[in-house]
Amino acid sequence: MISLFIGVLVLAHMNFKNVGLMAAEHNVRASFSMARSLPEAPDSMMIYETITPGINESELKTLMKAFGINGKVTDRQRQYVVREGQKVLEIFKEPGTGYLRFSNDAKLGTEQKAENLPSRDEAVEKAKAFLEAQGMMHNDMFLADVSYFESAKYDSQSKTIEEGKSAIKVGFGFSLEGMKVEGPGAKASVVFGANSEIIGFSWIWRKMKPYKKVKIISPDEALAKFKRRWPAEGDPEQMKQAATNTRVNIKDVRLTYFAEPGCIPQMHVKPVYIFEGDYVVTRGTGENAVQEGDRFVIVVPAVPGEKE
């Protein structure tokens, strides 16, 4: 499943795999530079096994009360869904998932200035207190960000007649083995509207337990795998002569764990290397040269034999 996420994260418009296959025929080459050294890595790391989310009727009613939603509970094959007007509560129960989301869309999507919004510090304290009350504040969580939702009104000439803040969001991340877990399946947030009412909430995280310790590939091996995703590496002279050359700037390499989207079954959470940076592709030479580039975030599995 990691390969699916790579397609989302790599903000590029080229099929580098195909370009690499045609490198010899079309004289395509790549060069690589690193802004910092590769990270140190242990010989082995723990793989974590996810625990099937278990939620009974009593726990569901408690959550409904916490969010002030009294609609009918729909028991679907993969999740519970509760709706009341524009309020929606969704909880996945499928093995390998970890997804809980509440939204009051009537207030979450408003473009109106909210009265009596909590300050940043107040919002953080209120978010932590809410998570504590629901038994969701864990030692592996950390404060990630605090941000306001901006609102504005315009007249018929597009002139601003009112602007303000419609909500404030407190975001959290999760860690394993002291490392920030990467991916869309490792985040939580509490959104407050007027008078500190909770109008949005998400808990995207799986319960898990240690599964087994495995040997992982070295940072050098990970770098070699990363390079295979690009056109063939060329020396300075080959780069000058290449009809198309790609200069890849690796700004960061980190070893951590990767969590798939919470609504997708993931039975094991495994270590990965994450490469982040940018690239520039130059086609042609002189006045006819055309350049394009973008940034990338590429995930390379750290467990030997893992499918990329």
Select from 187, 211, 235 the last residue of a domain: 211
Q: Are residues 179 and 225 in the same domain?
A: no
Amino acid 151: pLDDT: 73
Q: Are residues 55 and 171 in the same domain?
A: yes
Select from 164, 194, 211 the last residue of a domain: 211
The answer to whether position 307 is within a domain reads no
Report the domain count for the chain: 2
The answer to whether position 197 is within a domain reads yes
The answer to whether position 59 is within a domain reads yes
Q: Are residues 242 and 129 in the same domain?
A: no
Q: Are residues 171 and 181 in the same domain?
A: yes
Amino acid 4: pLDDT: 39
Q: Are residues 172 and 99 in the same domain?
A: yes
Range of the domain at 141: 48-211
Q: What is the pTM of this model?
A: 0.84
Q: Are residues 56 and 85 in the same domain?
A: yes
What is the tens place of the pLDDT at every residue in 100-147?
999 999 998 777 888 899 999 999 999 999 999 999 999 999 999 999
Select from 160, 178, 211 the last residue of a domain: 211
Amino acid 154: pLDDT: 65
- Residues in the chain where the model's pLDDT stays below 70: 1-26, 152-162
Q: Are residues 86 and 148 in the same domain?
A: yes
Amino acid 241: pLDDT: 86
Q: Are residues 70 and 143 in the same domain?
A: yes
DSSP string, the chain: -HHHHHHHH---SS-HHHHHHTHHHHTEEEEEEESSPPPP--SEEEEEEEPPP---HHHHHHHHHHHT---EEEE-SSEEEEEETTEEEEEE-STT---EEEEEHHHHT--SPPTTPPPHHHHHHHHHHHHHHTT---TTEEEEEEEEEEEEEE-TTS-EEEEEEEEEEEEEEEEETTEEPBSTTSEEEEEE-GGG-EEEEEEE---EEEEEEEE---HHHHHHHHHTTSSPB--HHHHHH-SEEEEEEEEEEEEEEB---TTS--SEE-EEEEEEEEEEEEESSGGG-EEEEEEEEEEEE-STT---
